[in-house]
Amino acid sequence: MTSLTKRILSSLVMLPLALAALWLGGWLFLALVVLLTVASVYEWGKMVLSDKKKAADFVLLTAGYVYILLAMSAFLFLRLKNDDGFVLTLMVLAMIWATDICAYFTGRAIGGPKMAPKISPNKTWAGLGGGLVGAAAVAAGFVLGGFTPAVFTEWTLLCMAALGAAFAVIGQIGDLLISALKRKYGIKDTGNLIPGHGGILDRIDALLLAVPVFAVIVLAAG
């Protein structure tokens, strides 16, 4: 079974569960966030403490825990503390998912110069371009489909598309941050919980940065 096939099959299992928890909200969504937090904290600690030859970097260890907890708190804020919680949370998820999918297939189809060869050799500038277009289209799609969250009702279609493009970049930065740490500690994946994806951190690396930034924008726009 190819890596792509594993990724698709894993996504077909995880996506409906994640969307169901997001739609229903309440304790089910809280339980999902708690599970993601526990798994992410475990994987971060395992990664930072993996090099037995060096003293543990407790500053990085603590910073990682804070980083994860802030991201998960932002998830809860978006879904549980806002009138448009479902749409807002779905929007940031959709922008990041669109970035990942479009960047993956555009990068494979076009190739070209690497974006950060020493950190993530498979990422290309063409892939980033595809991700920008995908995320911009998704953000604009929320407006065209009549699902604009209340905090963005005064934003033009062009502004929403620009928001999507910006989050494509933010998501890629979050992705590269975790990739850089994996390089630092000489590991390919943060775990092996998800076939084709690796660990939980491998799957939500872009969201860890994107969700808190999005929450700040929602606060400012509201």
**pLDDT digits 0-9 by tens, 117-144:** 889 888 999 999 999 999 999 999 999 9
Query: Residue written as tokens 């549980």?
Result: 80
How confident is the prediction for the chain on average, in pLDDT? Answer: 89
Mean pLDDT of 103-114: 90
Amino acid identity at 45: G
Region class of 196: left (phi > 0), else alpha (psi between -120 and 50), else beta: left
pLDDT band at 192 (very low <50, low <70, confident <90, very high): confident
Instruction: Give the pLDDT confidence score for residue 221 in this predicted structure.
Output: 87
Of the candidates 138, 38, 149, which has an alpha carbon nearest to the alpha carbon of residue 87? 149
User: Do 50 and 43 contact (CB within 8 A), yes or no?
Assistant: no
Contact 61, 50 (CB under 8 A): no
Q: Say if residue 53's pLDDT is above 60.
A: no
Residue 7 banded pLDDT, cuts 50, 70, 90: low
Q: Is the pLDDT of residue 114 over 80?
A: yes
C-alpha gyration radius of the chain: 17
pLDDT of residue 188: 86
pLDDT at 153: 92
Name the residue with higher pLDDT: 194 or 76: 76
Q: Convert 153-162 to b/e letters by CB count within 10 Å (16 or more is b).
A: eebeeeebbe
Give 4's pLDDT tier (boundaries 50, 70, 90).
low
pLDDT > 60? residue 30: yes
Confidence category of residue 1, pLDDT binned at 50, 70, 90: low
